[in-house]
Amino acid sequence: MTEESLSQEHRTFQPDPAFAARANGTADMYTEADADFEAFWAKQARHYVTWAKDFDQTLDWSGAPFAKWFVGGELNVAYNCLDRHVENGLGDRVAIHFEGEPGDTRTLTYADLHREVCKAANAFEALGLKKGDTVAIYLPMIPEAAIAMLACARIGAPHSVVFGGFSAEALHTRILDADSKLVITADGGFRRGAPSALKPAVDAALEHGEHPVQKVVVIQRTKQETAMVEGRDVWWHDIVDGASEEHTAQPHDSEHPLFILYTSGTTGKPKGIFHTSGGYLTQVAYTNSVVHDVHPDSDVFWCTADVGWVTGHSYIVYGPLANGATQLMYEGTPDTPHQGRWWELIQKYQVSVLYTAPTAIRTCMKWGHEIPMKFDLSSLRLLGSVGEPINPEAWLWYRKYIGGDKAPIVDTWWQTETGAIMISPLPGVTTLEPGSAQKPIPGVSAEILDDEGQPLTEAEKVGYLVLTKPWPAMLRGIWGDPERYKETYWSRFGEKYYFAGDGAKYDKDGNIWLLGRVDDVMNVSGHRLSTTEIESALVSHPHVAEAAVVGASDETTGQAVCAFVILRLGGEHQTDDNEDIITELRNHVAKEIGPIAKPRQIMIVPELPKTRSGKIMRRLLKDVAENREMGDVTTLTDSSVMSLIKSGMASGATE
């Protein structure tokens, strides 16, 4: 079959009996969870987590939408990820195979990781860190990222990991919002074959005047020249290497905050999503077991995400380590030094379960299947997808060329807010439907509602995805803003429904198909970006009068950022020669938010299409950006605006 014809015929894939016989997930789980979902979760909590003190109530929903799970229970998350495995005689099992981008490697067993986390916890405490203080972590993909997170969890100091690709500005607002006393960073990381500095961004973030930061701990990774601020900055190796290896993990309340993670919403200000301990750990460990089907004694699991995103939190750090699994952690990009790097790593470490994003799969498809075919990928027995809808073509390519035409694929839908996987097939149980995330996992309940909030039952009708019952790993709120939490997630369809912000439909077999965001959130390469946030960044440039941003569909990245900008300088810049200003604006967005938010395309326009009430009609701009025939323009104040924009399109700069 050629690649073009892979998806021509509709195929489904039944579980392989040999796979099913060993699978962690079973069909019975659906019936069990349906019969009594609280009892089901209580059972998972006691199975996957070791409690210092057992809980006496499974769920307290009396303060809805503010949930408490496993009430009265006490645990230490780091103890669950480390100490108990060592106590169970698994200290010699590899926890992390690390491969740096330049090819340097490190192997950390559970005993090693436990020791490093204890040392880091002692060192952080010696700096004055206490339970309840928040810590900003701004690091490349190196083992110290996991070590720092676990050390914080051990102390009970919620971490706020800021993706290393975010700018100094973004780091600054996150430090302020979470009131972080400590920052953990590195001199830099390796990116596309060269060292890339990180520490200067921390310095810039802290030059903004008032801030709560007392100490900055710096890991030496690239050994590049790094300025250290006297009295504030300390080297990791100076404080951690000599610290004691003994550290007793104190139990924390089940609802003690574990971390804050910022994500884009519909307004300009990122939301600090916060998660707590017992419920989160239960669901990440359970899903890593039944969805990724990880068998800790035999699998090598590789989640290609960065720890700066929720996927890295849940499926590099907490889920797999709670289960005592062996993982691969890789610092770099898939094409450095060559386009077969990922497949080479799978062959080298005998990776058996791979979890990655559709954008990566589509990129590899573009590079051609000849590249993965040069490597032995026969160790792979299960593939996962996350972050955006996976189109059937990419699904079938993934199965054929990466999965050897046999590995099941789990398309997993979830969010920063849900903390863990929510909708996904169970491998070994579900008959797979390429392109669909299919069904809520056992313990989770979802529905699709129409505009009026009525549940849809008919196939192919498009509506809004909602979750109808609380779940253990659910966000507990937006840090410091309980009202925004209620308003954003629990008001669109009343207080009984969690509004996910995604469009969805059922097919005739009752499978759920996710159709992308219904709000002003874009999904670029599986990363969430807000149109408003990028518009604010553009407008903060002195030359910009007005800006409108849309997510236009893109073959590789899912969506791409397209901006329409009116300049302040009147006619002067409205010529064909806008290259300089466009470059400047793209860099400005990178500086304000981060390189991931750089618009693919910026159009300098004389006007923006607006309704009579002054609302920008993004739908029309999207049509233009996607080269579609224009939609209905009858509500426009001046429909000639659109032809002006369209005719100017040809001169818009593209990356």
Query: Token pair 């921390």 is at which residue?
Result: 202
Q: Minimum Å distance from CB 315 to ligand WT7?
A: 9
- What the block records as the tokens of 80 is 């669950």
Strand order in the sheet with 382-386: 105-109, 94-99, 326-330, 300-303, 353-356, 382-386, 409-412
Q: Which is nearer to ligand WT7, 91 or 270 (CB)?
A: 270
Of the pair 386, 604, the CB lying nearest ligand WT7 is at 386
Distance CA 649, CA 640 (A): 14
Q: Are 186 and 162 in contact (CB under 8 A)?
A: no
- Among 614, 620, 619, residue whose Cα is nearest residue 644: 620
Q: How far is the CB of 261 from ligand WT7 (least distance, A)?
A: 9
For ligand WT7, the closer of residues 252 and 528 by Cβ is: 528
Which residue, chain included where needed, has tokens 């340097």? 104
Nearer to ligand WT7, 116 or 388 (CB): 388
Q: Tell me the closest approach of the beta carbon of residue 354 to ligand WT7, in angstroms.
A: 15
Closest CA to 198 of 175, 174, 177, 224: 224
Tokens of 368: 């051609």
SS3 446: strand
CA 258, CA 154: separation in Å to the nearest integer? 10
Least CB distance from residue 350 to ligand WT7, whole Å?
26
**CB of residue 612 to ligand WT7, shortest distance in Å:** 31
The secondary structure of residue 385, as a DSSP letter, is E
Return the ∠ at Cα 61 (arms to 44 and 500), rounded to 5°: 80
Q: How far is the CB of 515 from ligand WT7 (least distance, A)?
A: 8
| Nearest CB to ligand WT7, comparing residues 522 and 544 | 522
Q: Least Å distance between CB 498 and ligand WT7?
A: 12
Task: Provide the residue type at 24 as one letter.
Answer: N
d(CA 239, CA 123): 6
128-147 exposure pattern, b = at least 16 Cβ within 10 A, e = fewer: ebeeebbbbbbbbbbbbbbb
Are 424 and 413 spatial neighbours (Cβ–Cβ below 8 Å)?
yes
CB of residue 319 to ligand WT7, shortest distance in Å:
12
**Cβ proximity to ligand WT7, 439 vs 610, nearer residue:** 439
Q: How far is the CB of 306 from ligand WT7 (least distance, A)?
A: 11
User: Do 402 and 380 form a contact (C-beta atoms < 8 A)?
Assistant: yes
Q: Is 601 helix (H, G, I), strand (E, B) or coil?
A: strand
> What residue ranges bind ligand WT7 (CB under 6 A)?
263, 310-311, 386-389, 411-416, 437, 500-502, 514, 517, 523, 526, 528
User: Which of 388/535 has CB closer to ligand WT7?
Assistant: 388
Tell me how far, at minimum, the Cβ of 360 lies from ligand WT7, in Å: 13
Between 310 and 561, CB nearer to ligand WT7:
310
Of 254 and 263, CB closest to ligand WT7: 263
Smaller CB separation from ligand WT7, 154 or 517: 517
Q: Maximum CA pair distance of the chain? A: 74
